């Protein structure tokens, strides 16, 4: 039996907030989730939870956190069901505010800012990256400057002293310290967390297994398999493109603008991204390929949320469904909850409605620049250089195959059977734009 723990406890420190007249007070909830796997290749199931939250008492008390432990074998069915729903809200909150906005906007925005400030317009690396910055830098800059009203949080981001925003920033800093930019790709963060393909493939790795031909790697954790494939496509593009721009390691070392770029990205008073290459240096062609792989992966993987087969389990980056009450954390373990009591705790229906509308908008509108042009992968070329264009065509063709083979992970058999839009052209070139 394997055990995993997923920690989303930073959300517990968020202060409760009364958003507007239509929505009652919203509460952040933190969760420590223990997952159990009975046998190799079997699904993971939650076995225990620790939920925590700011109590919301007035006048407020510093570090006034309440917690409660739940166990699938001990808690009564009603309490366990409530705990799972609250944990789901916690995962959503963390996924949007940290896993999404930090990984795909704040860190990417920091790298984009360094590119635009440290490299001259005619620098070859800036020319290579420019098509993959378009339409994303403005949003990322507003996020970093805290000038964008981030309705993805359980409060309105309008406090002049940033009191409400600080717990999120502290969560960002904690995560980037533990998981620097270089480790934000699945080939690194999956093994770092002990997540192995043989544990999440139903037929295992036994070549003599009669089921071996009937299942694919990661069939019990399909998003891990998908994200690894996206990283492989990003790495292939990085290898082809950087090989065009830099032939020898000495070319990397003597490129002073490139060295200044990496310094800016890593500096605590700059991008604050921690280490950005596996070697911790920028001295070889492979170092730069690794950096481009990480950047391109994070830009490209975001686009998955705009496809019909993936939009359901992806985190819609807006209107977070936080809890309306956390008083249940002080209830007895044997309490039975009525449907009305559960509804009073669950996310506000107005917020859920806004989330659903946004999700539909996100999925059903075409991106400014599709990764694969409507007229085909060899049209709307990005560069004046033929070899760089060949690298981008190879990337597009790789995604064309990926999208064609994409399983339906939306939880729906057929989301939009008569869709006028093709998922082939729904994957954006730059994050979500």
pLDDT at 4 over 70: no
Q: Answer for the pair 138, 433: CB distance below 8 angstroms, yes or no.
A: no
Percent of the chain residues past pLDDT 90, beyond the cut: 38
Which is higher by pLDDT, 117 or 59? 117
What does the pLDDT read at residue 154? 42
Report the 10 Å Cβ neighbour count for 262: 23
Whole-Å CA distances, 112 to 162, 166, 238:
25, 23, 16
Confidence of residue 276 (pLDDT cuts 50, 70, 90): very high
What does the pLDDT read at residue 82? 94
Of 141-150, 160-169, 405-414, the poorest mean pLDDT is in 141-150
What does the pLDDT read at residue 252? 97
Mean per-residue pLDDT over the chain, rounded: 81
Q: Answer for the pair 28, 93: CB distance below 8 angstroms, yes or no.
A: yes
What does the pLDDT read at residue 83? 93
pLDDT at 306 over 90: no
Q: Answer for the pair 299, 129: CB distance below 8 angstroms, yes or no.
A: no
- Confidence (pTM): 0.86
pLDDT at 152 over 50: no
pLDDT at 421 over 50: no
What does the pLDDT read at residue 1? 47
* Spatial CA neighbour of 297 closest among 356, 231, 341, 368: 231
What does the pLDDT read at residue 164? 58
Domain boundaries, the chain: 77-425
- d(C-alpha 10, C-alpha 113), whole Å: 27
Confidence of residue 412 (pLDDT cuts 50, 70, 90): low
Which is higher by pLDDT, 414 or 185? 185
pLDDT tens string 88-134: 888 887 777 777 778 888 888 888 889 999 999 999 999 999 999 98
pLDDT tens string 198-249: 888 887 554 445 544 567 899 888 889 999 999 999 999 999 999 999 999 9
What does the pLDDT read at residue 277? 95
Percent of the chain residues past pLDDT 70, beyond the cut: 76
* Spatial CA neighbour of 371 closest among 309, 317, 302, 313: 302
**CATH of the domain spanning 77-425, picked from 1.10.10.10, 3.90.1150.10, 1.20.245.10, 3.40.50.300:** 1.20.245.10
* Spatial CA neighbour of 265 closest among 433, 165, 129, 127: 129
Distance of CA 352 to the CA centre of its chain: 20
What does the pLDDT read at residue 215? 77
What does the pLDDT read at residue 405? 82
């Amino acid at each position: 039996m394997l055990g995993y723990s997923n920690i989303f406890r930073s959300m517990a420190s968020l202060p409760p907030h009364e958003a507007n007249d239509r929505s009652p007070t919203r509460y952040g909830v933190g969760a420590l989730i223990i997952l159990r796997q009975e046998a190799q290749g079997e699904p993971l199931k939650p076995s225990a939870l620790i939920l925590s939250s700011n109590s919301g008492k007035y006048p407020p008390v510093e570090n006034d956190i309440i917690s409660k432990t739940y166990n699938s074998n001990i808690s009564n069915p009603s309490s366990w069901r409530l705990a799972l729903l609250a944990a789901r809200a916690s995962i959503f909150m963390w996924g949007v505010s940290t896993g999404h906005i930090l990984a795909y906007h704040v860190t990417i925005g920091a790298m984009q800012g360094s590119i635009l400030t440290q490299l001259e317009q005619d620098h070859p690396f800036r020319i290579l990256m420019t098509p993959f910055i378009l339409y994303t830098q403005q949003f990322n800059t507003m996020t970093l400057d805290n000038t964008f009203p981030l309705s993805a949080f359980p409060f309105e981001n309008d406090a002049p002293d940033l009191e409400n925003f600080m717990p999120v920033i502290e969560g960002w800093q904690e995560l980037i310290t533990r998981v620097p930019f270089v480790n934000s790709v699945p080939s690194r963060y999956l093994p770092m967390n002990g997540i192995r393909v043989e544990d999440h493939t139903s037929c295992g790795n036994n070549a003599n297994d009669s089921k071996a031909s009937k299942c694919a790697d990661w069939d019990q954790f399909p998003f891990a398999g998908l994200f690894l494939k996206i990283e492989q496509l990003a790495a292939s593009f990085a290898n082809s493109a950087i090989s065009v721009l830099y032939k020898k390691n000495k070319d990397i070392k003597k490129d002073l603008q490139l060295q200044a770029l990496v310094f800016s990205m890593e500096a605590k008073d700059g991008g604050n991204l921690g280490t950005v290459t596996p070697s911790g240096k920028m001295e070889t062609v492979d170092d730069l390929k690794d950096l481009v792989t990480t950047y391109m992966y994070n830009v490209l993987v975001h686009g998955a949320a705009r496809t019909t087969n993936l939009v359901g389990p992806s985190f819609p980056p807006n209107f977070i469904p936080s809890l309306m009450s956390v008083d249940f954390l002080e209830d007895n373990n044997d309490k039975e909850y009525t449907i009305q009591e559960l509804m009073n705790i669950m996310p506000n229906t107005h917020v859920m409605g806004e989330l659903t509308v946004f999700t539909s908008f996100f999925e059903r509108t075409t991106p400014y620049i599709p990764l694969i042009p409507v007229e085909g992968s060899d049209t709307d070329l990005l560069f004046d250089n033929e070899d760089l264009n060949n690298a981008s065509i190879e990337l597009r063709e790789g995604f064309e195959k990926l999208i064609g083979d994409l399983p339906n992970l939306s939880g729906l058999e057929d989301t939009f059977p008569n869709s006028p839009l093709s998922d082939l052209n729904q994957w954006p070139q730059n994050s979500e734009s």
